[in-house]
Amino acid sequence: MIIRQFCARHGRTALSQSTRTVTRSYVNSRNVDDPTLRQSERDPRPPRTIPGHPDEPSSVLDTIDRPPTAATRSVEEKLEVQKKSMQSLHADVNSHIMARIQAFNEPAPLSTTEIKNKPAPLQAPESTDTLPFKNLKELNRYRRHTQKEARKGTNLTQTYDPATILRKPPMPSDLTLPMLLTNQTHLGHATPLWNPANSSYIFGIRDGIHIISLDVTYAYLLRAAKVVQEVARRGGIILFVGTRKGMEEITVNSAKLAGGYHIFHRWVPGSLTNGQQILGACGVKVVDIHDRDLDEYTQKFSQGNHTVMRPDLVVCLNPIENQVCLHECGLFNVPTIGVIDTDADPTWVTYPIPANDDSFRSIALVGGLLGQAGKEGQRLRRLQAMRGETTYSTGHLDDIFASLEEIASLDVQEPEQAGGRA
């Protein structure tokens, strides 16, 4: 405290002894940056003024023109550039509007000011060549570029297409275990749904489902194919039944290959037990050993004077939904072939095929292979027919034709006798 008072007194004494006049000044917006000025807390502060008031000295100084600085020049240049860009944009919009009006030949009313400010008309576009390439060199360059781009990437040569089985089913001699595995024939149902009669066909359990042994499927499928081939070779009637939704194409394709018949909508109950009432009015087609139509016998059989023929073999692709069909076949001792899954009873059919009946890939493989076996049997039958040999007995046909001729003669004589009696 003593040092402070001494410094203050010493400073006042030095000022009083100085010959220079002392001028007091206050800090304001003009001299705040002057390092020679020091503001004292005891000095009175200038009165507060309203910014922009005419009495304020700074307002008078602000009206003085000052030379432009670098900052003000950059701002003015930016404003000028924006102004020019807006003018050019307006000019482009006006030219576009005028071009559209001229293109549609729609004259628009223009005022005098718009006519004066109307931009110059657009120049006509230059004519371009319609050909994509100007010369042969560019065409060859484009072809080389296209070929080079086509060679890039990976080329897959061995790919699997599920529709291949429908277009070209495998032959029984081409069947392999990897083919059965690829087409999901080994997948059964969940373990709670299994039928104990299938215990000899089950290989094991994986993720809660039964796995069918592919060795058993392979052996039983080849046996069924051999049965279909022999029935077709002997001229028997083969009926393919697949009534599940999505099996239509598989059923029809298999029947066409084997030269048989097909049902893919619904099995009508009584088609075998009461076939005379259900199918008695259907047409009949009679052919010889060379599969040539015999019209004279076809007309006689088509009049309803024939016994309904039963199939010699029934191939059922979904036995669970066609138990009625299998029951009627059992009543008339018609042999059957069926795809037996782990939830079905193998005793329903004569020749079971342990396989997955829920997968269309599995059904397509089984049906296509049986169709190919039937096709081979038909080929062998026609080959023997060309040699003059028949693979089936024809002795009973003479008795049938004689009875038909007798019935036809009775139908002709009855009207004549009725007329004579009258």
Q: For 106-152, write each residue's pLDDT tens digit.
A: 555 555 555 555 555 555 555 554 556 777 788 888 888 888 888 88
Lowest mean pLDDT among 78-87, 149-158, 273-282: 149-158
Query: Mean per-residue pLDDT for 51-64?
Result: 49
Of 130, 170, 198, 129, the closest CA to residue 339 belongs to 198
Q: Distances from the Cα of 21 to the Cαs of 16, 17, 18, in angstroms?
A: 10, 11, 8
Residues 83, 81: Cα–Cα separation, whole Å: 5
Identify the residue with better confidence: 114 or 372: 372
Query: Mean per-residue pLDDT for 271-294?
Result: 80
32-53 confidence digits (pLDDT tens): 455 555 555 555 555 555 555 5
Measured over all CA atoms, what is the biggest interatomic distance in the chain, rounded to whole angstroms?
180
Tell me the pairing of strands 238-241 and 261-263.
parallel
Residues 36, 302: Cα–Cα separation, whole Å: 134
| pLDDT of 237 strictly over 60 | yes
* Banded model confidence at residue 94, pLDDT cuts 50, 70, 90: confident
Tokens encoding 393: 């007995």
Taking the alpha carbons at both ends of the chain, their separation in whole angstroms is 168
Would you call 81 helix, strand, or coil by DSSP? Answer: helix
Would you call 82 helix, strand, or coil by DSSP? Answer: helix
What crossing angle do the helices spanning 360-386 and 214-233 adopt, rounded to 10°?
30
Residue 148 has a pLDDT of: 85
Set out the domains of the chain in order of their start, with CATH numbers.
Answer: 162-280+310-389 (3.40.50.10490)
Residue 115 has a pLDDT of: 53
Residues 111, 93: Cα–Cα separation, whole Å: 17
| pLDDT of 312 strictly over 90 | yes
Residue 12 has a pLDDT of: 53
